[in-house]
């Protein structure tokens, strides 16, 4: 097993959320991967208030205990799969807020995206791609987009078709490749004096 660690971040805390089933499916698809270990991060377990740090995250001077705990969690990973709903043509507020709390902990790491919504969540992914670029994350091309009309029964019971397993494999292959390369980049960076 590789020493690469990938977090599958569940980007919804909404009651009755569909994202839990989607994130669980992603983790199940990744269960037998040997290129990295995949672990869940549920934002319900990290109840971050609306960004309440006085100093911008790029300064790395976190004051709040909740921010420091979140930073330590994210720092431990080499890459991320963001599982996002699409709300109002974008990602969820809770995921955007969690991302905005940190800076260096996201830098030079790989990101992949899995979305769901009436149009498959494609617009949420487009926003996350722009955000990831600003945070110096390398986002992979492959993405998974699940339709509430076709991939869920009654808009609530997740029933993805078999074709998604192959698409997930491509996403994982790309993500692990970039995560490994960027780990070398982070290792080669000089330590500030």
The fold adopted by the segment(s) 5-188 is Rossmann fold (3.40.50)
Three-state secondary-structure class, residue 180: helix
Specify which residues 145 forms β-bridges with.
115
CA triplet 36, 74, 50: central angle to 5 degrees?
Answer: 145
Domain boundaries, the chain: 5-188
Nearest Cα neighbor of 51 from 59, 63, 42 is 63
CA triplet 189, 191, 193: central angle to 5 degrees?
Answer: 150
Three-state secondary-structure class, residue 72: helix
What is the per-residue pLDDT across 134-183, written as a single tens digit (0 to 9) for each?
Answer: 999 999 999 999 999 999 999 999 999 999 999 999 999 999 999 999 99
CA triplet 139, 101, 99: central angle to 5 degrees?
Answer: 25
What is the per-residue pLDDT across 55-91, written as a single tens digit (0 to 9) for each?
Answer: 999 999 999 999 999 999 999 999 999 999 999 999 9
Q: Are 92 and 12 in contact (CB under 8 A)?
A: yes
Q: What is each CA distance from 79 to 22, 52, 75, 139, in whole angstroms?
A: 18, 25, 10, 9
Rounded average pLDDT over 114-126: 95
Kind and range of the H or E run holding 50: none
Top-confidence residue, 188 or 24: 24
Q: What's residue 1's pLDDT?
A: 55
How many CB atoms neighbour CB 118 within 10 A? 10
């Amino acid at each position: 097993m590789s020493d690469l660690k990938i977090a599958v971040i569940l980007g919804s805390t909404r009651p009755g959320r569909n994202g839990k089933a989607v994130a669980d499916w992603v983790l199940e698809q990744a269960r037998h991967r040997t290129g990295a270990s995949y672990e869940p991060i549920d934002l319900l377990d990290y109840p971050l208030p609306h960004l309440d740090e006085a100093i911008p995250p790029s300064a790395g001077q976190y004051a709040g205990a909740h921010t420091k705990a979140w930073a330590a969690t994210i720092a431990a990973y080499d890459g991320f799969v963001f599982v996002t709903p699409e709300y109002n043509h974008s990602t969820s507020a809770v995921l955007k807020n969690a991302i905005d709390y940190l800076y260096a902990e996201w830098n030079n790491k790989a990101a992949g995206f899995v979305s769901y919504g009436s149009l498959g969540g494609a617009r949420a992914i487009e926003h996350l791609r722009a955000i990831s670029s600003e945070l110096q994350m390398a986002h992979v091309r492959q993405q998974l987009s699940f339709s509430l009309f076709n991939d869920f029964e009654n808009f609530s019971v997740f029933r993805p078709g078999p074709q998604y397993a192959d698409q997930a494999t491509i996403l994982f292959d790309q993500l692990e490749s970039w995560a490994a390369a960027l780990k070398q980049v982070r290792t080669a960076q000089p330590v500030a004096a």
